[in-house]
Amino acid sequence: MASSQCAGTVDARGLTDVISRLRRALRRSIRTDYPWELRPVAQVEVLQSLGEGGVTRVGDLAERLCLAQSTVSALVGQLVSAGLVTRDVDPADRRAAIVALSSAGRTDLRNWDTAHRRRLRAALARLSPTDQRAVLAAVPALGRLVDALD
Amino acid sequence: MASSQCAGTVDARGLTDVISRLRRALRRSIRTDYPWELRPVAQVEVLQSLGEGGVTRVGDLAERLCLAQSTVSALVGQLVSAGLVTRDVDPADRRAAIVALSSAGRTDLRNWDTAHRRRLRAALARLSPTDQRAVLAAVPALGRLVDALD
DNA sequence: CAAGATATATCGGTAACCAATCCAATTGGA
DNA sequence: TCCAATTGGATTGGTTACCGATATATCTTG
């Protein structure tokens, strides 16, 4: 009664709270999955974005990921050193850098993805069908919420 | 076609991705709301947890927040220095620390909450009614998902 | 009372950011 | 054509956000 209010009222605390906790829980579960050599999560996110969006400029990556350009620049640098992505000068606009997955990066991403998907699916399977539906339905809506936040 | 799969398949990438982005977008919007003196987000989360759960031990806080005990210990220390919470020895078990909001902390939390709620509500208002419903419905479900992840 | 268990605190380190600034290339006039 | 303003990125110099290991009391129980 205290926590659920009339439908129109947004429970801001509830949403931000669950987002933080979920992120940390996911991070922890990832670490459990990968006791061996594991890339920092931020780097994996860059790989994923490249996996989905394909070859991209650094600035576009930053926007997609809601990160500052300088942050992405540094992350890409780390991934280049690790051999997981390539960074080349765009011949059309020589200021720009074209970032792409290397084949090693593609493999790494695929492995990570498989394990992570398995774990998340297991967790979801423990929820009630109603909750599962609610989570699935929320994913695209939350994406649009990100855009609606400034 | 590439991104949406059959209903039963969990889109792990989509969920983790949107969680990260949403968290960063929220953080950014918070900073926009509070150009003046602003507490680090992690500290605010502790205040919130205290606001909901009331007087608590450090270890309980850590569990609620999905954080390591050492992390919470440090955060509480910072909040004590800032005068926003009190930390006293539990007379019943003198190893334990009892953490509670001070009145300054209560005020701070209330202010923060008001502004943040307003902003989040504005963002949600820009979504379609369907999306709004989906987000609202997902909050409790996501909370249970956290528990289901290990 | 002597071992373990517990609850915290502290220390040392890494990851995850951002803002400011610098550089090179591009672009839009005058 | 040349110069100013703009733009894409890299670098630098922070701060925050964590965690693991260890040290210190304090319980608890045989």
Looking at residue B29, what is its pLDDT? 81
Q: Which residues of A touch B149 (CB under 8 A)?
A: 25-26, 28-29, 119-120, 123
Give the lowest-confidence range in A2-11, B68-77, B111-120. A2-11
Closest CA to B131 of A140, A128, A42: A140
Q: Provide the 10 A C-beta neighbour count for residue B110.
A: 12
Q: State yes or no: pLDDT of B1 exceeds 50.
A: no
Question: Does A14 lie at the interface with B, CB-CB under 8 angstroms?
Answer: yes
pLDDT digits (tens, 9 = 90+) for A18-68: 999 999 988 888 777 665 567 899 999 999 999 998 899 999 999 999 999
Question: What pLDDT is recorded for position B34?
Answer: 64
Q: Is the pLDDT of residue B2 over 50?
A: no
* Share above pLDDT 90 across residues of chain B, in percent, rounded to a whole number: 67
C-alpha–C-alpha distance, residues A71 and A50, integer Å: 16
Return the amino acid letter for B42: A
Residue B31 has pLDDT above 80, yes or no: no
Protein-covered nucleotides on strand D (Cβ within 7 A): 7-13, 15-22, 25-28
Task: Point out the residue among A12, A66, A136 whose CB comes nearest to the CB of B117.
Answer: A12
The per-residue pLDDT for B12 is 65
Q: Which among A104, A111, A123 has a CA at the least distance from the CA of A28? A: A123
**Closest residue by Cα to the C1' atom of nucleotide D16?**
B40
pLDDT 10s digits, A76-122:
999 999 999 999 999 999 999 999 999 999 999 998 888 888 888 99
Calculate the average pLDDT of chain B: 87
Cβ contact, residue pair A13, B121, below 8 Å: no
Q: What residues in A contact B17, CB-CB < 8 Å?
A: 45, 48-49
Q: Are A148 and B124 in contact (CB under 8 A)?
A: yes
Is the pTM above the cut of 0.75? yes
* pLDDT band with cut points at 50, 70 and 90 for residue A2: very low
Kindly report, residue by residue over B84-94, the tens digit of the pLDDT.
999 999 999 99
Amino acid symbol at B73 = S
In the stretch 51-70 of chain A, residues with CB closer than 8 A to chain B read 52, 65-67
Separation CA B113–CA A146 (nearest Å): 19
